[in-house]
């Protein structure tokens, strides 16, 4: 778990720092020179990313102090299990009982959950997922930023609006200095502590990415995730050397036949191997797939969740497929929001204590209330888009993306106020120099 709250280094065991947050102790991998016991640091995703002065740390902690416990209290109340409805189906109760004790649950039972539609039953499924999330992760909610560097793409993914099929799309490629400015704004002004750099396949060479990442890392304290498609083992090694520590790469679907239909000429195996290589090198893994692809079954979706878990995902990113008119799947349909919510809950049941679960923008595009509902159904992570407006409009992986016209500051304020309402502490978002501040949480 990571709080964008300063913590005090309590102990150092080799590269591992034990950090105290108001009495809770967490471990993080340290890459900072001459770190000492007693130093104050920010840690993200299991990495110490910044040392800060005692004065700065204490004044930030003063602001957080009461809020921290108030939020935990609120989350605890919202995540209590309630079984007051006695007329519920016995089989459902048996499955949820096993789930809440983390006992082994059969594929058939998970499928049973995915197929339920009765509102009372669904409510109980969501509540159980929320309870498990609370039990294992506490009230932390990761808030990462994402910069969409370029919509240039060399691939033919049948569903994607920036694929080669969208011939009329105006293509852009942010220059190194634009990326550095955007990163500076995200980190310094808005306080993000973790940034995802995303682009279409082959928009940048590995050498270009190396320079960009190295410069960001030299200038700022931030955890960098790359999401630029497949770059092979040498590419991954090079970008790790530049300072990237996470990879966001969805395998899209675990069904290899469906994968080849969706990506003619490409293989699931290659993508999965890329994720395995990245994990072995020490990258944090963010992965998942598209839900609701034409021809995909509920069994496929369960297999997707199992695959994401087996890849040691630090975070699951499962989002609904949203048709884009300029692609071969332009006339297909999105899954329902209810189905997505069930997928989130079942994902939380299958991986109870390792992976954070992201509410994707695509989910919020098909359902305006998805963020809040999803966070109450097992999810504990959101990503805010910090791409400059003129480029964001051209990054049309699917149409009508949520938050397209919302300035970053407003997105942050809305997120903070939502998290406050449901008792979550925003993590990976620190205190920037902008006018929003954690005081708003009180
Ligand atoms: N080149 C990078 C980033 C791809 S775009 C890569 O290969 O990983 C990021 C994600 O957008 C994709 O992984 C895909 O799952 C999602 N996406 C693309 N088209 C979509 C659509 N029509 N609906 C919903 N999500 C889509």
Ligand 1 centroid from CA 283, angstroms: 20
Is pLDDT of 340 > 80? yes
Confidence class for position 441, pLDDT limits 50, 70, 90: very low
As a whole number of angstroms, the distance between CA 406 and CA 80 comes to 34
Mean of pLDDT over the chain: 93
Q: What is the pLDDT of residue 182?
A: 98
Confidence class for position 86, pLDDT limits 50, 70, 90: low
Q: What is the pLDDT of residue 88?
A: 86
Best residue among 151, 201, 250 to mutate for probing ligand 1, ranked by most atoms within 8 Å of CB: 250
Nearest CA to ligand 1 atom 20: 160
3-state helix, strand, coil in the chain (%, to 5): 40, 20, 40
Rg (CA), the chain: 21
Best residue among 152, 154, 159 to mutate for probing ligand 1, ranked by most atoms within 8 Å of CB: 159
Best residue among 397, 399, 402 to mutate for probing ligand 1, ranked by most atoms within 8 Å of CB: 397
What residues are paired with 41 via a beta bridge? 7, 51
Ligand 1 centroid from CA 197, angstroms: 13
From the CA of 230, give the closest atom in ligand 1. Answer: 7
Nearest CA to ligand 1 atom 19: 160
Ligand 1 centroid from CA 442, angstroms: 37
Ligand 1 centroid from CA 109, angstroms: 30
Do residues 46 and 29 lie in contact, with contact meaning Cβ atoms separated by under 8 Å?
yes
The finding on whether 362 has its CB within 6 A of some atom of ligand 1 is yes
Enter the tokens of residue 429.
Answer: 């978002």
Enter the tokens of residue 23.
Answer: 């009495």
Q: What is the pLDDT of residue 84?
A: 64
As a whole number of angstroms, the distance between CA 359 and CA 356 comes to 10
Give the list of residues 6+ apart from residue 52 with CB closer than 8 angstroms, or none. Answer: 6, 40, 41, 42
Task: Identify the CA nearest to 384 among candidates 194, 223, 176.
Answer: 194
As a whole number of angstroms, the distance between CA 119 and CA 139 comes to 26
Give the list of residues 6+ apart from residue 390 with CB closer than 8 angstroms, or none. Answer: none
As a whole number of angstroms, the distance between CA 317 and CA 131 comes to 20
Q: What is the pLDDT of residue 3?
A: 53
Give the H or E element holding residue 203: none
Q: What is the pLDDT of residue 44?
A: 86
The finding on whether 201 has its CB within 6 A of some atom of ligand 1 is yes
Confidence class for position 429, pLDDT limits 50, 70, 90: low
Is pLDDT of 433 > 80? no
The finding on whether 252 has its CB within 6 A of some atom of ligand 1 is yes
Q: What is the pLDDT of residues 276-318, one digit of tens each?
A: 999 999 999 999 999 999 999 999 999 999 999 999 999 999 9
Strand, helix or coil at 358? strand
As a whole number of angstroms, the distance between CA 70 and CA 61 comes to 14
The finding on whether 334 has its CB within 6 A of some atom of ligand 1 is no
The finding on whether 401 has its CB within 6 A of some atom of ligand 1 is no
Q: What is the pLDDT of residues 23-57, one digit of tens each?
A: 888 899 998 999 999 999 998 888 999 999 999 89
Query: What's the first-to-final CA gap in the chain, in angstroms?
Result: 22
Strand, helix or coil at 123? helix
The finding on whether 398 has its CB within 6 A of some atom of ligand 1 is yes
The finding on whether 242 has its CB within 6 A of some atom of ligand 1 is no
Enter the tokens of residue 318.
Answer: 């499962």
Confidence class for position 2, pLDDT limits 50, 70, 90: very low
The finding on whether 159 has its CB within 6 A of some atom of ligand 1 is yes
Is pLDDT of 216 > 70? yes
The pLDDT of 58-71, averaged and rounded, is: 84
Enter the tokens of residue 231.
Answer: 């770059």
Confidence class for position 331, pLDDT limits 50, 70, 90: very high
Do residues 144 and 359 lie in contact, with contact meaning Cβ atoms separated by under 8 Å?
no
The pLDDT of 80-98, averaged and rounded, is: 84
DSSP single-letter state for residue 289: B
As a whole number of angstroms, the distance between CA 376 and CA 345 comes to 9
Q: What share of the chain has pLDDT > 70, as a percent?
A: 95
Q: What is the pLDDT of residue 266?
A: 98
Q: What is the pLDDT of residue 83?
A: 65
Phi, psi of 366 (to 5 degrees): -85, -15
The finding on whether 441 has its CB within 6 A of some atom of ligand 1 is no
- Report CA 191 to chain centroid distance, whole Å: 17
Give the H or E element holding residue 312: none
Nearest CA to ligand 1 atom 18: 160
Give the list of residues 6+ apart from residue 372 with CB closer than 8 angstroms, or none. Answer: 418, 421, 422
Is pLDDT of 442 > 80? no
């Amino acid at each position: 778990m990571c709080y964008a709250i300063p913590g005090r280094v309590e102990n150092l065991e080799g590269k591992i720092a034990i950090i105290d947050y108001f009495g809770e102790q967490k471990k993080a991998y340290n890459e900072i020179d001459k770190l000492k016991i007693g130093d104050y640091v920010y840690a993200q995703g299991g990495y110490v990313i910044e040392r800060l002065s005692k004065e700065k740390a204490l004044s930030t902690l003063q602001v957080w102090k009461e809020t921290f416990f108030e939020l935990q209290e609120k989350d605890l109340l919202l995540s209590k299990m309630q079984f007051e409805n006695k007329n519920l189906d016995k089989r459902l109760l048996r499955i949820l009982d096993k789930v809440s004790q983390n006992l082994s649950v059969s594929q058939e039972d998970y499928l049973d959950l995915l197929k339920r539609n009765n509102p009372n039953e669904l409510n109980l499924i969501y509540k159980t997922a929320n309870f498990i999330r609370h039990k294992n992760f506490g009230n932390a909610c990761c808030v990462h930023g994402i910069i969409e560097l370029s919509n240039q793409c060399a691939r033919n993914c049948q569903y994607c609006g920036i694929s080669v099929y969208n011939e009329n799309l105006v293509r852009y490629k942010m220059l190194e200095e634009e990326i550095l400015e955007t990163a500076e704004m995200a980190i310094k002004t808005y306080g993000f502590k973790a940034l995802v750099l995303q682009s279409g396949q082959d928009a940048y060479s590995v050498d270009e990415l190396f320079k960009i990442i190295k410069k960001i890392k030299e200038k700022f304290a931030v955890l960098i995730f790359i999401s630029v498609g497949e770059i092979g083992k040498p590419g991954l090694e090079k970008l790790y050397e530049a300072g990237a520590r996470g990879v966001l790469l969805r395998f899209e679907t675990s069904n290899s036949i469906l994968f080849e239909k969706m990506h003619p000429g490409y293989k699931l195996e290659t993508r999965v191997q890329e994720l395995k290589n990245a994990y072995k090198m020490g990258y944090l893994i963010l992965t998942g797939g598209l839900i609701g692809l034409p021809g995909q079954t509920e069994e496929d979706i369960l297999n997707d969740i199992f695959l994401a878990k087996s890849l040691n995902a630090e975070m699951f990113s499962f989002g609904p497929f949203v048709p884009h008119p300029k692609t071969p799947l332009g006339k297909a349909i999105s899954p329902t929001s209810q189905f997505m919510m069930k997928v989130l809950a079942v994902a939380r049941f299958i991986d109870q204590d390792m992976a954070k679960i992201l509410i994707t923008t695509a989910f919020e595009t098909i359902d305006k209330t998805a963020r809040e509902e999803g966070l109450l159904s097992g999810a504990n992570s959101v990503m805010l888009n910090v791409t400059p407006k003129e480029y964001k409009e051209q990054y049309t992986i699917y149409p009508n993306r949520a938050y397209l016209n919302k300035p970053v500051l407003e997105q942050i304020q809305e997120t903070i106020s939502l998290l406050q309402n449901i008792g979550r502490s925003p993590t990976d978002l620190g205190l920037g120099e902008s006018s929003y501040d954690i005081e708003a949480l009180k």
